Amino acid sequence: MYAQSAEMEPRTDWSLDEVAALYEMPFNDLLYQAQRIHRQYFDPNAVQVSTLLSIKTGACPEDCAYCPQSIRYHTGVPTEDLMSVEEVTRAAARARAAGATRFCLGAAYRGPKDAQVEQISAMIRAVGDMGMETCATLGLLTEPQAQALADAGLDYYNHNLDTSEAFYGNIITTRTFADRLRTLEHVRTAGMRVCCGGILGMGEAREDRIALLHSLATLDPQPESVPINQLVRVQGTPLADADDLDGLEFVRTVAAARILMPRAHVRLSAGRTGFSDELQALCFAAGANSIFYGDTLLTTENPEEAADRALFRKLGLKPEQPTPPN
Ligand code: SAM
Ligand code: DTB
Ligand code: SF4
């Protein structure tokens, strides 16, 4: 039922029941399947390394219940205007020197204005010229905005589904799940690669994690990059006191993502500061093969670079070289 081979196009016709059956397999069987598929498609000891930069911080009009940058919550995140191209290239040069191969620009927008897309396009050109892969996450895009970013050479656009369609309304009311799917379509039409995943630990049930995976795996084509975030609980947000998620549920989600989307890079994204080395090692064994590297994500903490270097050494992992453009 789960058989796929590296020559075949990944299946995008998964039924919800199939995804549930996969997610709920005995843990050892699930990890074995995930590891087997991981080895068919990837070097199991290579991890893609991305660094994030918040190019426009805070005062976002949206009401995403997890987010420290929403203007509706008092989280102490300072408001900062859109950075200059020079500031961005300086940060990218630092990230490149530290070993990152992809640089991801994040902005606290519902969606950018055209003038902002123009300024961000200049940043993308500059970072691309430095030989790094580029990614941006700017919120909802119109079709011409997606085309403008693609024309600037943007390699990936990150736009997450965040959670299941059924649970979504508990988390965000200012834009819909369908709005997100539309932006993903514009990104595809413009010819960019898609980075799309979600957040775990927001009080969702296992069935929501299964439904999120189902939505991601049935995108056609599937996303090239799938960030799995663990909620970072930020004081002042409605989810500040969300219950802990069992780490093994996180590993199950990573393993199922690997099996369902065999060609995608599955990224351990937000929340790694709360993970032990052992939990991260299990995630890598389950098929995760990308991380955010650098002391900060957008506004919250990420493991220290030295800690990640030590973890890579202990596990014999090495940074992956970028894939050549299409
Ligand atoms: N404003 C744009 C948007 O929402 O699409 C781009 C930036 S937004 C911060 C990018 C993603 O970060 C969100 O979709 C969400 O998945 C993730 N994120 C934000 N706050 C988080 C938190 N506290 N914990 C985990 N993930 C978070
Ligand atoms: C994604 O899925 N995770 C990253 C990235 N896409 C932009 C963002 C995580 C943000 C965590 C909260 C913060 O640092 O503000
Ligand atoms: Fe704004 Fe993005 Fe945060 Fe939502 S996740 S509040 S859109 S910055």
Task: Dump pLDDT digits (tens) for 200-242.
Answer: 999 999 999 999 999 999 999 999 999 999 999 999 999 999 9
pLDDT single digits (tens) 96-131 = 888 788 899 999 999 999 999 999 999 999 999 998
Q: pLDDT at position 324, please?
A: 53
Output the pLDDT for position 7.
64
Q: For residue 96, what pLDDT is reported?
A: 86
1 — pLDDT class (breaks 50, 70, 90): very low
Contact between residue 135 and residue 157 where contact means Cβ atoms under 8 Å apart: yes
- List pocket residues of ligand 2, CB cut-off 6 Å: 52, 68, 106, 137, 158, 160, 197, 227, 229, 232, 269-270, 297-300
162 and 65 in contact (C-beta within 8 Å)?
no
d(CA 226, CA 248): 18
Q: What is the mean pLDDT of the chain?
A: 93
Task: Kindly give the distance from the C-alpha atom of residue 231 to the centroid of ligand 1, in angstroms, as a whole number.
Answer: 9
The yes-or-no verdict on residue 79 having pLDDT over 90 is yes
**Model confidence at 178: pLDDT above 70:** yes
Can you give the pLDDT at residue 323?
59
Residue 64 annotated among the catalytic residues of the structure: yes
**Token output for 95:** 């990230």
CB 297 within 8 A of CB 231: no
Cα 32 to Cα 27, 39, 207, 287: the distances in Å are 9, 11, 22, 10
Give the pocket of ligand 3 (CB within 6 Å). Answer: 60, 62, 64, 67, 69-70, 108, 110, 139
Sign, CA dihedral 91-93-97-99, equals positive
Contact at 8 Å (CB) between 309 and 264?
Answer: no
The pLDDT assigned to 191 comes to: 95
Residue-wise pLDDT for 34-44, tens only, equals 999 999 999 99
Q: Which amino acid is at 295?
A: D
Return d(Cα 7, Cα 40) in angstroms, integer. 10
